[in-house]
Amino acid sequence: MSNLIDTYNNMLENRVDEEAEVVKEAEATQETDEQFEVLSKYAEAADGLLADEFGDDYNEEDVEKLASLMIDYDVEQEEALTKVAEFEQAGQIMAHAFAEELDRLS
C-alpha cells in the first residue's frame, strides 16, 4: 500500500515539475518575443532613417550598425536619467536633513 502512495506522490511531483517547466518555457518564449519586437523596431527605425538620408545606397550592415548605435544611445540615456533621479532623491534627503538640523539648532 505504501508503494502505491509513494508512486502516486512521485507522479504528483513529476506533474508539478512538468508544469513548472512549461511555465518557464512560456516565460522564456515571451521574453524572447519581446526582445525580438524591440530589436525589430530599432531595425525598422534605422532602415527608415537610412532610406531618408541615402535612398537605396546602404546595406544591411549599415542598418545593423545604426540600430546598434541607437540602442546604445537609448541605454546611455536611460542610465543617465536613473542617475539624475538618484541624485535628486539624495539631494532631497540631504535638504530635509539640513532643514531638520537648522530647526533643531534654532
DSSP for residue 59: -
Q: Which residues of the chain have pLDDT under 70?
A: 1-2
pLDDT at 19: 85
pTM for the model stands at 0.62
Q: Can you list the alpha helix ranges (DSSP code H) found in the chain? A: 2-54, 60-105
pLDDT of residue 11: 81
d(CA 34, CA 70): 18
> Under the phi-then-psi rule, with left for phi > 0, alpha for psi from -120 to 50, and beta for the rest, what region is 55?
left
Task: Summarize pLDDT for 8-36 with one digit per residue, the tens.
Answer: 788 888 888 888 888 888 888 899 989 99
User: According to the model, what pLDDT value does residue 6 have?
Assistant: 80
Residue 9 backbone dihedrals phi, psi, to 5 degrees: -60, -40
Rounded to 10 degrees, what is the CA torsion of 81, 87, 91, 92? Answer: 50
